[in-house]
Amino acid sequence: MRLVLTSDDRIGVERDGGVVDVSAAFEDIRYRTAKDRMPRVLAVFQDRRSQIEELAASGEPIQVNGLQAPVPRPPKLIACFGNYMEGTNRERQTQDMFLESPESVIGPGGTVILPNHPATIFHHEAELGLVIGRRAKDLPADERALEVLAGYTCGIDVSARGMGRMGPSRMGKSFDTFTPIGPAIVTTDEVPDPQNLRVTMKVNGELRQDYSTSDMEYPVVEVLSFITGYMTLVPGDVIICGTNHQGLGAMQDGDQLEMEIEKVGKLSVSVVDPQKREWARGIDKEMADRVRAVGQS
C-alpha cells in the first residue's frame, strides 16, 4: 500500500494511477494541523490496515492537486552518517547518526530555498527513508526490527557544506526546506528486500547519483537496532539511511531535482537561491574521491 497526504489534508491511498481518499478510517483522530496529525495517524495505521484496504478498494479516485510530505513534521528526524561502502574494501566504520531539525521537511513539488549563509556548496544526498509506525526501544538487529516500520519513503538530505565548527555539519543539513520527503509511505510488503533497491538522483535530467542499497554498510535492520539502543522511536519518526557520495553535485538556483527509489517512488523538488550563487555543474568528483579515501565528507 502507498499512503499519501494530499495538499488539502486528505489521507489517501494510491490506486490505478490515482488517489483514493481513506480519511474516513482516521475520523476519530483529533488533530490541529497536518503536522501533528500524521504521527497520530501512523500510530493506528497498522491496526487499521484492513479497514484502510477496504476503503481503498471500494472508493473512487479523487482529483489531487499535489501532495504534502507524508510526515510534514516528524517528532524526530534522524540521519545516518556515511553508510555506504562506495566501492572501497575498507572495514565497516563505527556506526553513527545525528538528529536534524524536523522543521526542515518539505513535500513533493516543494522548493528548497538556499539560505544566505556562507556555505562552500549545497549538495543533494538521495537516501532511503524509514517511517516509524510503532514505539520502539532496543530492537534486535534482525527481521523483527522491520515490524516497527510504517513503511519506506524517499528523502533528500540537502547539505550545506563548510558550516559549523567540526566535521560534517549537522546545522548545514537543518535549514528550513532542506529535507524533502515523499511522495508516499510505501508499506514493507511492497518492498520485500530493502537492501536491493536502485536509488537515482537526476538534476535537470542529468544523472548524478546512481547506486543500490545493496551497498549499504549497516543495513536497515542494523540502523533500527542501533538507534533504538540510544533512544525510543515513536510513530512518525523518520530515519534517512545515509547516502552514497559517489555522484553528489551542486544544487543551485533554478535546478529541478528528481530522485527515485525503485519500488518506493519518485520525489521531485525545485531549487531557489535568492543570492543566485553558481557552482560547477555535474558530479562533484573531488568530494567523491575524498569520501572513498577517508570515509567522510
- The footprint of another protein (CB under 8 A) covers 30-32, 36, 40, 73, 75-76, 81, 93-104, 115-117, 137, 163-171, 174-176, 229-232, 234, 296
CB closer to another protein out of 66 and 229: 229
Q: Which is nearer to another protein, 4 or 240 (CB)?
A: 240
Select 58 or 294, whichever has its Cβ closest to another protein.
Answer: 294
Please, which residue, 14 or 217, has the CB nearer to another protein? 217
User: What's the rounded Cα separation, in Å, for the pair 238 and 155?
Assistant: 9
In the complex, what is the shortest distance from the CB of residue 120 to another protein, in angstroms, rounded to a whole number? 13
Minimum CB–partner distance for residue 202 and another protein (Å): 28
Q: Which is nearer to another protein, 16 or 32 (CB)?
A: 32
State the Cα–Cα distance between residues 145 and 178, nearest whole angstrom. Answer: 28
Minimal distance in Å, beta carbon 228 to another protein?
10
Lookup result for grid cell 488539502: 8
Alpha carbons within 13 angstroms on the beta-carbon side of residue 116 total 2
Q: How far is the CB of 45 from another protein (least distance, A)?
A: 18
Q: Which residues 6+ apart lie within 8 Å of 278 measured at CB?
A: 252
Q: Minimal distance in Å, beta carbon 97 to another protein?
A: 6
Kindly tell me which of 62 and 230 has the beta carbon lying closer to another protein: 230
Least distance in Å: CB of 50 to another protein? 26
Q: Rounded to the nearest whole angstrom, what is the least distance from the CB of residue 169 to another protein in the complex?
A: 7
Sign of CA dihedral 12, 15, 19, 25: negative
Q: Which is nearer to another protein, 171 or 293 (CB)?
A: 171
User: How many other CB atoms are found less than 10 A from the CB of residue 293?
Assistant: 10
Residue 182 cell numbers, joined: 515523499
Residue 128 to residues 21, 182, 199: CA-CA distances in angstroms? 26, 10, 8
- The least distance separating another protein from the CB of residue 92, rounded to whole angstroms, comes to 11
Compute the distance between CA of residue 275 and CA of residue 254 in angstroms, rounded to an integer: 12
Nearer to another protein, 128 or 233 (CB): 233
Q: DSSP letters of 84-152?
A: B-TT--PPPPPP-EEEE-GGGEE-TT-EEE--SS--S-EE--EEEEEEE-S-BSS--SSGGGGGGEEEE
Q: Whole-angstrom Cα distance, residue 59 to residue 56? A: 6
Contact 34, 5 (CB under 8 A): yes
Residue 210 exposure: Cα atoms within 13 Å on the Cβ side? 6
